[in-house]
Amino acid sequence: MTAQFAQFQDGEPNNENNNSRKDEIVHDKETGLKYVDLVYLHELSGNDKEFEKQMLQQITLQAPMEVDQLEQAIKSADFINAKKIAHSLKSTVGYIGLADELHPNLERIEKSALAANLEVMSENFIQVKQVTIEAVKEVHTLLQNM
């Protein structure tokens, strides 16, 4: 895990505390974003745009890598690594506001890994992969406009 992510590992991002602030953001109309919500990242950075840019750049590298690793772990029935990767991915996607959407799927993957239930892991992975890919595309667009 990179230094930017590691320094916040104990305070794993979850956007439960940001629900009231989420109402203030209109994704589709105001920002054009369907998946990404930067409220948590703004709070974390104290609106430090350079820090945010570095974090977003790291997310464009780390999220696809973790999704690929998770997919391989599931395909090879590597339950130990699947659980670890799903847990790490919860932090990664939380930085860009996907905690509410993806944490339930990632938690089901973690629990299913403990139970060696490939079917449930695979079902939940589909959503994780789809949303993460689309969110990373949005982050790339955001970075181009920074």
CA distance linking residue 33 with residue 27, whole number of Å: 5
Q: Where are the domains of the chain?
A: 19-144
CA distance linking residue 130 with residue 113, whole number of Å: 20
What's the DSSP call for residue 97? T
pLDDT per position as a tens digit, 12-28: 444 444 443 333 333 43
pLDDT per position as a tens digit, 88-133: 999 999 999 999 999 999 999 999 999 999 999 999 999 999 999 9
pLDDT per position as a tens digit, 35-74: 999 999 999 999 899 999 999 999 999 999 999 999 999 9
| Tally of CB atoms within 10 A around 65 | 13
Query: What CATH number labels 19-144?
Result: 1.20.120
Of 63, 60, 109, 117, nearest to 86 (Cα)?
109
Cβ-contact 93, 99 below 8 angstroms? yes
